[in-house]
Amino acid sequence: MTPTAGPGRPPALGAQGTLFDEGRTQGDDVGFRGPTACKAAGITYRQLDYWARTDLVAPTVRSASGSGSQRLYSFRDILVLKVVKRLLDTGVSLQQIRTAVGHLRERGVEDLAQITLMSDGASVYECTSADEVVDLVQGGQGVFGIAVGRVWREVEGSLAELPRESVVGAPEPGDELAGRRRARRSA
């Protein structure tokens, strides 16, 4: 079902594998709880939970470890969540999205901001240059594209105003409720 690459045409995304292991933009000591990830990515908590349980986009900072535990998502996790949401909104099947995410994991893409994901509604293509985008569109295959760099900036802007949590468990200063809990415990 995945088309093969033709002359001057980028390869369609293929096989599964571990996404974006090259560090985190927001720092290794910070994670974002599920509701914050949902808000930044524009998805429901039900979607987030399903995608985590099926390993489409699992939290890389801290996974759930039983009832009441909190998953923590990295910046890159949230970026992938938002890209997945955009692909779903344009009609790409969840199966094709899994393939695309798996391909990006396998490649260990170092510069996500330079990638444009194109789709003809059935397959997803990775384009890393303007020439590849033009070739794909001229070939009549590309119907829409998602510039990952733009999504990256949107997620950064959203997360700048949302609460974050330290990986060691201490909440960031902006989390008022956690500050109150800390004050009650120390009193």
> pLDDT for 93-110, tens place per residue?
888 889 888 877 776 655
Answer whether 119's CB lies under 8 Å from 125's CB.
yes
Residue 12's pLDDT is what? 42
pLDDT tens digits, 108-138: 655 666 788 887 777 787 888 888 877 777 7
CA distance 34 to 118: 28
Q: Pick the closest to residue 165 from 61, 49, 45 (CA basis).
A: 61
| CA atoms of 47 and 4, how far apart (whole Å) | 31
- Environment class of 42 (CB within 10 Å of its CB; exposed 0-12, middle 13-18, buried 19+): middle
Q: For tokens 């200063």, what's the residue?
A: 173
**Whole-number Å distance between alpha carbons of 98 and 87:** 11
- Ranges in the chain, pLDDT < 70: 1-29, 107-113, 140-143, 168-187
All structural domains of the chain, each given as residue ranges with its CATH number in brackets, are: 28-165 (1.10.1660.10)
Element (H, E) at 121: none
Q: How far apart are CA 187 and CA 173, in angstroms?
A: 18
Q: Give 67: exposed, middle or buried? Use CB within 10 Å, 0-12, 13-18, 19+.
A: exposed
Distance CA 100, CA 85 (A): 13
**Sheet containing 30-33, strands listed edge to edge, beginning at the edge strand earlier in sequence:** 72-73, 30-33, 165-166
Q: Which residue shows structure tokens 């079902």?
A: 1
Q: What is the reported pLDDT for 50?
A: 94
Contacts of 27 by beta carbon, 8 Å cutoff, 6+ apart: none
CA distance 167 to 72: 8
